[in-house]
Structure 1
């Protein structure tokens, strides 16, 4: 089965969910999100197949963002793709180097830019060309000089060893097929004493196979939710310490809108995830 419009991979829910299939599904879906003529549209195959991003300030405030941060964002930097606010947990300091995993159109990266100031640097990595193009256009138009958007995959970061003070990410690790490798790469690029502060979706139970193999649900930030115990093991085996995973029960209210009628909010929940490199 494929989409009638463009034969898009993310809609081919019967395809084998290999790592390559997942990456291509995610890449195609988010390319459509950022290039859609309809602002904030995340349409894939129709209602219930792919979630529709919510780009309103009200939704961002529910995730924990302050209005003053939202007021200063470039146009359409907020694509409504987050599930929390990693910036608050990161406690950024002026002069730090920050890495944003899955930086999209630059939403969290631009907020981080203001936090670290002109002596700091924010590196945004995204695997979607269209997102990098949009983020760079936003940075140029708004005069951000302390940000560097790079095309690349989270499992193979285009970032030097031990060069980053803080890693942030917002509802992106769930989209990565090889999450163990993603955390190994995160550990590699962090400085000694560096910290990880991300928001993502997690689950306490293994999701049904029918969900895990649905590429539309994977691209929609649901099928790739990590079991909490597995997430802890990935972080520990990578070398992280001081691991803290804090589920946000209130997130079920907006997650239920991502796949209406499927009741996946009973299994999937947003969480703050923090850890430190010794």
Structure 2
């Protein structure tokens, strides 16, 4: 398993600074303050039902909620909950008998999320501060874990998935949208470590796993029924549109080789129904 973990504290500090600033301007990668991404993911009708003044920016790359198929009464955890949009939508789906936790390490995100929840009047939610590698919840305490384009930002992904497995109840499920490389990077003319070091961690690509590595880490953590489905393949134009800082330091001749290799992926898995299964 190739998981080189660089300076974890430096990466976390960069990610915190990046997303703390991003929530104030409404976009993770540009200064565009529209909600076009959220409309595309969740639909205009869903967003229109939210009260005026709710910040809808999700910074996501897919619809983990649709993948999760939440049921009334379930307890849900959103890893990297940001401004709280997915938590609020999940709370509506699980109803008053369910509960949704949002976990984030960035104060500005948590402040926005709590403000949004208050505006919606959501009483079945709680936002926690912490790292997703050390989830501040008891063992086997949630039914479903969702996450939207966050795990790629964390240096130690194995620990994230191990702790996710720990807090899931037997039979619980994981539903994640994430940026993933389809195929490894060994065919590139530069070493993989050099390519990754030229990309920005806070802009989703430098820490992205390959599909094989994602599957291997999930299975090593104990998950079964692992499935990865490519929902979108990024063109070079897509990557440039996401913001030039994402490609900062990458030699121009390598850009065409990334065509279609960077993907938005829907990832699902389950904790086996029996503790010792």
TM value normalised by structure 2: 0.83
Cα shift at 1:56: 3.6
Distance 1:227-1:32 versus aligned 2 partners, 3 A rule = same
Is residue 2:49 matched to residue 1:72?
yes
Structure 2: distance between partners of 1:227 and 1:250: 13
Corresponding residue to 1:29 among 18, 42, 54 = 18
Runs of at least 5 residues in structure 2 that lack an aligned partner in the other structure:
186-190, 273-277
Aligned equivalent of 1:248 = 231
Q: After the TM superposition, which segments of 4 or more aligned residues of structure 1 sit over 6 Å from their partners?
A: none
CA-atom RMSD in angstroms: 2.2
Is residue 2:78 matched to residue 1:95?
no
Aligned equivalent of 1:205 = 184
Corresponding residue to 1:271 among 261, 265, 272 = 265
Task: Verify the 8 A CA contact 1:92 1:116 in the aligned structure 2.
Answer: yes
Structure 2: distance between partners of 1:180 and 1:164: 19
Task: Verify the 8 A CA contact 2:38 2:57 in the aligned structure 1.
Answer: no
Deviations along 1:197-220, one digit per CA (max 9) or x if unpaired, are 010010022384344224x71101
Distance 1:211-1:128 versus aligned 2 partners, 3 A rule = farther
Corresponding residue to 1:59 among 37, 48, 51 = 37
Task: Verify the 8 A CA contact 2:152 2:208 in the aligned structure 1.
Answer: yes
Is residue 2:120 matched to residue 1:142?
yes
Secondary structure in structure 1 of the residue aligned to 2:200: helix
Task: Verify the 8 A CA contact 2:77 2:102 in the aligned structure 1.
Answer: yes
Say how many residue pairs are matched: 250
